[in-house]
Chain A
Amino acid sequence: AQKVTQAQTEISVVEKEDVTLDCVYETRDTTYYLFWYKQPPSGELVFLIRRNSFDEQNEISGRYSWNFQKSTSSFNFTITASQVVDSAVYFCALSEAVEAAGNKLTFGGGTRVLVKP
């Protein structure tokens, strides 16, 4: 069975600080996908990134960066120079790569980030 663990339930930072969100996953599959979603206070879920298990390159998108380490089964997310608009709940998720069955997502419990001005 797949499992995603986000050990940090809530992180509070002051604006402009960096914040790193941890995500550890478990799967028996050799091919899989990892995702991060953002859920702002308005409640919608916003896709941030997808990474497949064969691509261990780190990725940077503006103030966001992701560190994928297969050796430790981790896919961590860093927000650099945080802003108040980054306040949200962030979810890490995992899916198999079995197209016929769709790609069912297994989510972590989420990490609430509060950025104070």
Chain B
Amino acid sequence: DAGITQSPRHKVTETGTPVTLRCHQTENHRYMYWYRQDPGHGLRLIHYSYGVKDTDKGEVSDGYSVSRSKTEDFLLTLESATSSQTSVYFCAISESKAAKNIQYFGAGTRLSVL
């Protein structure tokens, strides 16, 4: 257990509404990541963080923003949700030292945008 909690686990929302997903970790890992999983695409990186207030874009960042004000929390915000953002969202953590760059994933958040 890598001590990662995602909330909420399920959410249904309407197009145009803002949505925030939370990833909380208990083990003080430096790196945190947000991915989305869609059929046929595997997982794709949305945003990642390499420290408090240090974030950068991933492959599919359009329409998403993130914040990391504390080591333990990494928030993903959909400013105005669209149906194309219906997906399963996974948070991951890693230490990224040479011997420890394995990513461990949270349980996922299933988001439906109607």
Contacts and interface: CB of A to CB of B under 8 A. Distances in A.
Interface of A: 4, 6, 9, 33, 35, 37, 43-45, 47, 50, 91, 93, 95, 97, 99-110
B56 A101 contact: yes
Chain B interface size band reads 20 to 34
A47 B104 contact: yes
B42 A109 contact: yes
B102 A35 contact: yes
Contacts, number: 68
B48 A108 contact: no
Nearest to B32: A102
Chain A at the B interface: SS class: mixed
22 contacts: A4-B42, A9-B40, A33-B101, A35-B102, A44-B105, A45-B105, A47-B103, A50-B101, A50-B102, A91-B43, A97-B98, A99-B101, A101-B56, A102-B31, A102-B33, A102-B48, A103-B103, A104-B45, A105-B43, A105-B92, A107-B43, A109-B40
Contact of A107 (B42, B50, B88, B101): B42
B52 interface: no
Contacts of A50: 101-102
A43 B94 contact: no
A92 B7 CA distance: 26
